[in-house]
Amino acid sequence: MNSANQYTTARRPAWGEPICPDTFRKLLLRRAEAVGLGHVAPHDLRHTTASLLDSARSADGGRLFDATDIQKVLGHSRLSTTQWYLDALNTDAIDRAGPTLDL
């Protein structure tokens, strides 16, 4: 099977209808390929969701979502799992240190 039609077997699910993980993966890969994103894994969407929620700010710069909010959205039973996602996304200290170390 060539890559051009590798993901065409996934049917379009009805809105609100549960889909099996394999169908979701095929749909995601087909859509990512169609827009030129290359390989996108379903788990990448979880990282993107965590990143978007963590970086969302109100007009005054305050956070719109805290770690427990993000934990609930991602469906994690442990806050430590969510914190692992957020720590990987948090480059604030590195960004602030850059100019000082770039003397």
Q: Specify the pLDDT at position 1.
A: 47
Q: Are 26 and 35 in contact (CB under 8 A)?
A: no
Q: What is the DSSP letter of 3?
A: T
What residues contact 74, with CB distance under 8 A and at least 6 apart?
46, 49, 50, 81, 82, 85
Q: Specify the pLDDT at position 89.
A: 67
pLDDT per 10-residue tile (average), the chain, 103 residues: 51 78 89 90 88 92 94 94 79 80 74
Cα distances (Å, whole numbers) of residue 27 to 12, 32, 97: 8, 9, 41
